[in-house]
């Protein structure tokens, strides 16, 4: 795993992952994206870790994809284009696949793929300086992979307005739409995110992980199917406590 572009620090049961390309506003190149996916999966396997906090070094969370790599993603490089698209998709999907809750601590720009990472997290603590948006339309492209999760997070009308106009949301507006859980002063961002992580980590890990797994199973299911998944989880937890 590449450690230079992504920093890892453990504080008891909490793992802090920091996107570490501050000179590029933590834009997602292939190395950073691969490292993020790898560290999230590794954190899920680490029995000592209960909660992950994801943040960005410097003044921005993540400015989105590193457009400097786009020059190599041309139609005649089909394998490279496919690999990058697959990697981008996995970087947003992995949040729902791991058992450990992920809290995003977001300051400054969270744009395009960076906004996607924030919304893919289970909870978001936003600095008052946060600007969250999808400016792709202004560059003649579209927010393809991140669009699916965006609609699930803030609803159809707000999501369409956001991607069709390209104007970013302020932290206050993102809170109104339910895209973030809490807005705090910039100098309190990490303290508030870590306090939230500590409150989750204080619960029994088996229950915390089961809640996340069940949540992501039922969130898009029809009512009857969701209730059935809940019934199975209820039985499994009772069996666990009977041991």
* Nearest CA-CA partner of 42 in 28, 34, 205, 125: 34
180 φ/ψ sector (left φ>0, alpha ψ -120 to 50, else beta): beta
- What would you measure as the largest C-alpha separation in the chain, in angstroms? 59
Q: What is the pLDDT of residue 91?
A: 95
pTM of the model: 0.92
Residue position matching structure tokens 């069940």: 214
In the chain, the percentage of residues whose pLDDT exceeds 70 is 94
Q: What is the pLDDT of residue 238?
A: 76
- What's the pLDDT tens digit per position in 131-147? 999 999 998 889 999 99
Q: Please, what CATH class does the domain formed by 6-200 belong to?
A: alpha beta
In the chain, the percentage of residues whose pLDDT exceeds 90 is 81
Q: What is the pLDDT of residue 243?
A: 58
136 catalytic, yes or no?
A: yes
Residue 2 confidence (pLDDT) above 70: no
Q: What is the pLDDT of residue 236?
A: 84
User: What kind and span of H or E run contains 89?
Assistant: helix 78-97
pLDDT band at 1 (very low <50, low <70, confident <90, very high): very low
Radius of gyration over every alpha carbon of the chain, rounded to an integer in angstroms: 18
- What's the pLDDT tens digit per position in 31-81? 999 999 999 999 999 999 999 999 999 999 999 988 777 666 667 666 777
Is 129 exposed, middle or buried (CB count within 10 Å of its CB: 0-12, 13-18, 19+)? middle
- What's the pLDDT tens digit per position in 163-187? 999 999 999 999 999 999 999 999 9
Kindly list the strands in the beta sheet with 14-19, ordered across the sheet, starting from the edge strand earlier in the chain: 6-11, 14-19, 51-56, 102-106, 123-127, 182-184
Helix (H, G, I), strand (E, B) or coil at 31: helix
Helix (H, G, I), strand (E, B) or coil at 62: strand
Q: In degrees rounded to 5, what are phi and psi of residue 200?
A: -75, -40
Q: What is the pLDDT of residue 242?
A: 61
Q: Among the options 69, 136, 161, 206, which is catalytic? A: 136
Q: Compare 217 and 67 and report the one with higher pLDDT.
A: 217
């Amino acid at each position: 795993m590449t450690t230079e572009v992504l920093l890892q620090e453990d504080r008891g049961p909490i793992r802090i992952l920091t996107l570490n390309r501050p000179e590029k506003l933590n834009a997602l190149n292939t190395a950073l994206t691969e490292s993020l996916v790898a560290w999230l999966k590794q954190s899920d396997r680490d029995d000592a870790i209960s909660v992950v906090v994801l943040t960005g070094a410097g003044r921005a969370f993540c400015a989105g994809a590193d457009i400097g790599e786009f020059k190599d993603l041309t139609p005649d490089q089909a394998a490279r284009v496919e690999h990058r698209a697959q990697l981008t998709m996995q970087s947003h999907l992995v949040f729902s696949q791991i058992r450990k809750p992920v809290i995003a601590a977001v300051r400054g720009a969270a744009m395009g793929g960076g906004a996607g990472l924030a919304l893919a997290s289970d909870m978001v603590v936003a600095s008052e300086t946060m600007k969250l948006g999808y400016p792709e339309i202004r560059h003649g492209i579209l927010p393809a992979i991140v669009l699916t999760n965006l609609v699930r997070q803030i609803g159809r009308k707000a999501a369409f307005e956001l991607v069709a106009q390209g104007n970013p949301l302020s932290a206050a507006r993102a809170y109104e739409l339910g895209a973030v859980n809490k807005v705090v002063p910039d100098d309190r961002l990490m303290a508030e995110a870590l306090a939230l992580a500590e409150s989750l980590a204080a619960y029994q890990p088996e229950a915390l992980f089961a809640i996340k797994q069940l949540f992501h199973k039922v969130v898009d299911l029809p009512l009857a199917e969701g209730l059935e998944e809940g019934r199975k989880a209820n039985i499994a937890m009772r069996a666990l406590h009977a041991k």
